[in-house]
Structure 1
């Protein structure tokens, strides 16, 4: 992928952890792109055209070829641009990175979405328990090359971008330096990385996104 010669467009909604995964990858690679803001409650024709299956952001359009699903997009960016590799070259370490990234989407993101978007207190309590359980696994695995910390941002770091974002938008302190010391330190280091800091949204943008997401889900239930 040659930024100066090829057309790259990114469709998204500011505040979405999935969008910011892709933006971090593009920034790390030095790839210039055109950003188009979409609307979760009034999806654009362009979004419906490029992602007719899930009708969700983010969507990366590279020379008129659309790619959807944030982790798929990040890997595509890494595969098509050699500089500043995101995924490990070692096949075993690469497999581990995929495993933990998928773990986050299957366990952490699902529980986090329930925690943020559910109004019912019982559902929120259950979601909190599920989220803490998932965070415990991450705390125990926060070692070796799973998370790169402040020096090198890798695939698993990017997959975990929702953790510091969730900490920002949550009404309670989700994890502390006492309860999750490794995760707490990683979150601070990652959030303060120059590339990440430049991309991370403001708190009010996060609230706007999650409110729109909740409204979108509520509308789906009515239909």
Structure 2
């Protein structure tokens, strides 16, 4: 295995990154790490809303991004033919669903950058690659997601 002893010690279940080690204790998985950071340092600039319902909604949409976007996007850049076409359709449908949720707000949480925005930003940085590999125009299909 090419996995470091530290990784195997800190994340023995999934044996993968990311792992945040804070005060000698591991916190694993991207969205869980972000929630942890928000809880520990939320007096600085909270990512999750204080209202329990709005917080639950933010978690729902971040989970949607986490579970849906990568799988569909992977089909766009790693397949060809009918499978790629299906992946492109699925990917754009997911982005359109997110665009409806975004509405006319500048960020998913309203006026400030938050948890859902952060969950999507890692995929956003790859949009150009998805466009090239999939021969799609995300800005034309989902302009609100791009801006």
Q: Same fold (TM over 0.5)?
A: yes
The answer to whether the 8 Å contact 2:72/2:88 transfers is yes
Which of the numbers 127, 138, 146 marks the counterpart of 1:175? 138
Preserved contact between residue 49 and residue 109 of structure 2 (Cα < 8 Å):
no
Bigger Cα displacement from structure 2, 122-131 vs 74-83: 122-131
Post-superposition CA distance 1:72-94 (Å, at most 9, x none): 00000010112111100011110
Give the structure 2 partner of residue 153 of structure 1.
113
Indicate the residue corresponding to 1:100 in structure 2: 61
Return the structure number with greater helix share. Answer: 2
Give 1:129 shift.
1.5
- How many corresponding residue pairs? 142
Distance in 1 separating the partners of 2:10 and 2:80: 35
Kindly indicate whether residue 90 of structure 2 is the aligned counterpart of residue 90 of structure 1.
no
Q: Which has the higher contact order (CA 8 A, sep 6+)?
A: 1
The superposition leaves residues 4-49 of structure 1 with CA deviations (integer Å, 9 ceiling, x where unpaired) of xxxxxxxxxxxxxxxxxxxxxxxxxxxxxxxxxxxxx822111111
Structure 2 segments unaligned to the other structure (5+ residues): none
5+ residue gaps, structure 1: 1-40, 186-223
